[in-house]
Each structure stands twice: as C-alpha cells, then as structure tokens.
Copies of this chain bind each other. A is one copy, B any other.
Amino acid sequence: MGNSRIIVAIDSQEKHKAVDLARNLSDDIFGVKINWPLVLEEGAGIISKISRYSRAICDFKVADIPNTNRLIAEKVHSHGAYGIIAHAVTGEDSLRAITGVSPDLKLITVVAMSHPGAQAFLNPLSERLIAVARSVGSYGIVAPGNATGIIARLRADAGEMRIFSPGIGAQGGNPVEAIKAGADYVIIGRTIYQSDDPMEAVSRYNAEISASGIR
C-alpha cells in the first residue's frame, strides 16, 4: 500500500482496468475509488479484488435510513473495503449506523459537491453538514477539488478529519492547488486511467506534488 496522496477513480467503462490498475499502481497511489456503476457491472466481488492490492474506497454516496446504511456498510466491510463515502444530509443516525459497523471501515462524509445542482440545497448546508460529520467521528470528508475556495473554507472546520478531493484532472482541478487549499488526498480519474501509461501519469502527479514542497 502506497503513501501517495493520489487516489485513482475508476469508472464502469474501465472495468477491465480496475484490478490491473490497483495491482500495478499499488505502491504509488494511496487507493482506488470505485462507484455504483462499476459494482452494477462487476458485482460486489470487485471490492475484494481491488482490496487485495490497494485501499478500496467505495464512493456509494450512501443516503438511506440507518438500517439500510448499516447493511450496505456491513457488506462493503465484508469485502475488505478501506472506506465508504456517505451523505451527511440524511442525518446523524444514518451516519452512526455506518461508523458502528467496524472501526476498520473508514467513513468519509459528503458535506459539499461540485455540480451546479449542489448549490440548491447541499452546499449552503456545508457548515452544518461538517458538524454532523465530526460529531459521528467521520475519518474524512469529501470536498470538490476543482473549487479550492470550498476546500479552504471546509479545512478550518474539518479538524482532524482528512479531506478527500475529487474533480482533479479532466474536471479541471489541479492537485497541487487542491492540496495547498487543504486537501489531504486528491482523487484523479481519466487523466490516469485513460493515459497510455497510467504508471507514468501517476509518477508525474507524485513528482508534481513533491516538487511543490508540500509535505
């Protein structure tokens, strides 16, 4: 398992690459983020396969009643996942149902999103959502990497919680800028897995982050 700040996001179009990337990049990345479209394509077994080589973070945007959240988290944990991404907006009890599953399953909580529709309801609630994330003992929060203003604002309230930032690369975010704004991990998709040489792309990103002087 690597100690890089880079998490590779794999989408369902790249299902055949998901396990290969986890295996080949294992030492050079922090983990692999997968989502529901990939699981619908491949089944939950894909979580176990990736977990053999790297930290699997299940970006499931879990947003159900406590009992269903718990069942999802138990299943994900049984497949060896490192973390699970869930919404704070469904409330404290729904999140506690996840943290109650196992201390080994990291809860990463959504407190803001980057698409335009997030401005309507979610992002105006960010401060209250982050308070809920803290109160339930979230390991981390998700903050849009292509909106460094949001990262910086959330950083102050995040305390010990790690910040995971998607939207880097093809979606416009820059890894160094995101980390400087306060992100702990940057989530990068297409510019790595669609690269002719994903290992080289990861090395380039790692070098760029190191060269910037960020610890």
Residue ranges of A at the interface with B (Cβ–Cβ < 8 Å)? 11-12, 35-37, 39-41, 43-44, 60-66, 68, 71-72, 75-76, 87, 89-95, 113-122, 125, 128-129, 132
Q: Are A113 and B93 in contact (CB under 8 A)?
A: no
The interface residues of chain B lying within 8 Å CB-to-CB of A94 are: 115, 117
Return the contact of A40 from the options B64, B72, B115 (Cβ within 8 A). Answer: B72
Q: Are B117 and A91 in contact (CB under 8 A)?
A: yes
Q: Are A39 and B37 in contact (CB under 8 A)?
A: no
Q: Are B113 and A90 in contact (CB under 8 A)?
A: yes
Residue of B nearest to A41 (CB): B75
A94 and B89 alpha carbons, distance in the complex (Å): 16
Q: Are A116 and B89 in contact (CB under 8 A)?
A: no
Residue of B nearest to A119 (CB): B91
Return the contact of A121 from the options B40, B44, B89 (Cβ within 8 A). Answer: B89
A62 and B90 alpha carbons, distance in the complex (Å): 12
Q: Are A37 and B68 in contact (CB under 8 A)?
A: yes
Given A11-B71, A63-B63, residue A89 in contact with residue B37 (CB < 8 A): no
Residue of B nearest to A85 (CB): B64
Q: Are B41 and A122 in contact (CB under 8 A)?
A: no
The interface residues of chain B lying within 8 Å CB-to-CB of A44 are: 40-41, 43
Q: Add 8 more A-B contacts to A41-B44, A94-B115, A121-B125 (CB < 8 A).
A: A36-B68, A65-B115, A66-B117, A89-B122, A90-B117, A90-B121, A120-B128, A121-B129
Q: Are B113 and A71 in contact (CB under 8 A)?
A: no
Which of A61, A87, A113, A122 has the most C-beta atoms of chain B within 10 angstroms of its own C-beta? A61
Residue of B nearest to A76 (CB): B40
Which of A11, A62, A116 has the most C-beta atoms of chain B within 10 angstroms of its own C-beta? A116
A64 and B93 alpha carbons, distance in the complex (Å): 20
Return the contact of A37 from the options B75, B95, B129 (Cβ within 8 A). Answer: B75
Given A12-B71, A91-B120, A121-B89, residue A113 in contact with residue B37 (CB < 8 A): no
